[in-house]
Amino acid sequence: MKAAQPIANIDGYIATFPETTQALLKKMRATIQKAAPAAAEAISYGLPTYKQEGNLVHFGGFKTHIGFYPGPEAIEAFKKELAAYPSSKGAIQFPMDKPLPLTLVKSITQYRVAKNKEKAEGKKKKG
């Protein structure tokens, strides 16, 4: 029996889902790309990941929701805007039966870009 091949890129990841989920994942990807055009794409922890001076955000498809992982600091910063969505320390769940809050995803991603830039500049000053 042949072992399943690891998913090499975000296109491969999205292709593993039903068409309706693929459409939502493609919207998430496009929104993140617009918010962080200099970010590199990768698969990390089995999820589509964006990196720019460190990890920015991850996202993923699940049976009943799209997961978005901007980290605890971003979730705290956008607590009020995220109140309608199930969330935990570092994850947010966007239910499949509701429109994706793409403007919010864009704002959170831009927040993460700015925070990573601040941290990188702080390290340069110390170094």
Question: Mind listing the pLDDT tens digit for each residue in 13-42?
Answer: 999 999 999 999 999 999 999 999 999 999
Separation of alpha carbons 126 and 103, rounded Å: 35
Taking 50 as the threshold, does the pLDDT of residue 3 lie above it?
Answer: no
Architecture of 19-117 per CATH?
Alpha-Beta Complex (3.90)
Separation of alpha carbons 51 and 67, rounded Å: 17
Taking 50 as the threshold, does the pLDDT of residue 126 lie above it?
Answer: yes
Separation of alpha carbons 29 and 68, rounded Å: 11
Taking 50 as the threshold, does the pLDDT of residue 2 lie above it?
Answer: no
Amino acid at 26: K
Alpha-carbon dihedral 101, 102, 106, 108, rounded to 10 degrees: 20
Q: What is the pTM of this model?
A: 0.92
